[in-house]
Every structure is written in C-alpha cells, then in structure tokens.
Amino acid sequence: MQNRFAIAKDADAIARLHVQSWQQTYRGTLSDHYLDELALAERRQIWRQRFSAPAANQRVWVACDGAQLLGFCCLYLAQDAQWGSYIDNLHVAAPAQGLGIGARLMVTAANCVQAEYGEQGLYLYCNQSNTSGQYFYQRRGGQVRGSEIWQAPDGSAIKALRFVWASATELIQ
C-alpha cells in the first residue's frame, strides 16, 4: 500500500469512495434518495472541479493498493486563522478500515502542514451521528472545540463537531 498525491484521473474513484463512505456512515442521516440517486453525480462534479481548478492551498492524497483506491484525504492549508489547516475529507473504504490507512493519511496531512507552516494546528468536522469517526479522531488526540451546522447537500441541517489538534506534531505523534 502506498500514499501518493492524487491526480485529476483519480477524481472519479475518489467520488465513488466518498459516496460509498457516506452511504455506509450516513444512512438515516442523509436522505436515501440523495445517497442512492444523486450523490454520485454531485460528488463526481465536485471532485472533477477540485482537480480542474484546485485552490492554491488544496492538497489531496490517496492510499492505493496497486490500482485499488483504499482511502483519500483532502487538506486545505492555513484555512482558518484560529484553527489552522482544514482536513476537509478523510475516507477509507469499508474493507480497509482498521488497517491504519486513515491514521497514515492524517499523518501525511500533518507532515505537510508542518513542512509548510511549522506548528500550525489542524481541524476537521465530524457529524454528530458519526460516532465511529468521533472515536477515531479522539484516539488520535483530537479535541472537540465547538460545533457547526452542516447544510448537507440533501437539504438537511446536521450538527458537526469541530475536532482540533493544536499543532501538527500532536497529530504526527
């Protein structure tokens, strides 16, 4: 298994994994109609756009086993003056969960932050209904520092907890 920078031709595979992850995790939180009928086209459009016109601070990595995508992480460096760099997405394929892929992708993101911004912090949002995600982030030293309401693409409003690491080193260790 290897981590590498994602490239434009990864966009559709990333979109598929993104939707599979949401279908697994957010069934009952997001509407079935959205998850089953609309999400793939919508996520495909978003990821294609992110690769065709990337923000200057955007970094995306994939974890692969040969040609098989096992996970991905999207980071926006120095996104927020208070919280630091933003982990916008972290998803691991269901069969590969528990193998350390998510943790390695997070360390890759933290190493990038440290290399480009020193000891800047990192943060992400985890939906309140995603208890396994919350446990994963807590085990990696994430601290809950507030919440936001996510205006989900299916039209629902969902409480999302902000997990924070005060410095990149906290996440690397």
pLDDT tens readout for residues 48-89: 999 999 999 999 999 999 889 999 999 999 999 999 999 999
* pLDDT on residue 1: 81
| pTM, full prediction | 0.96
* High-pLDDT (> 90) share of the chain, %: 97
pLDDT of residue 83: 98
Phi and psi based region of residue 108 (left: phi greater than 0; alpha: psi -120 to 50; beta: remaining): alpha
CATH code of residue 130: 3.40.630.30
Domain carrying residue 27: 2-172
Q: Phi/psi at 78 (nearest 5 deg)?
A: 45, 45
Which pLDDT does position 65 carry in this prediction?
93
Q: Which residues pair with 173 in a beta bridge?
A: none
- Rounded Cα distance, 49 and 46, in Å: 5
pLDDT of residue 97: 95
Please check whether residue 106 is in contact with residue 138, taking contact to mean a CB–CB distance below 8 angstroms: no
Would the pLDDT of 173 be above 90? no
Max CA separation in the chain (angstroms)? 44
The 8-class DSSP code of residue 72 comes to E
* pLDDT tops 90 at residue 159: yes
Per-chain mean pLDDT for the chain:
97
pLDDT tens per residue across span 108-137: 999 999 999 999 999 999 999 999 999 999
Residues 9, 64, 113, 18: what is their CA dihedral angle, to the nearest 10 degrees?
70
Specify the number of domains making up the chain. 1
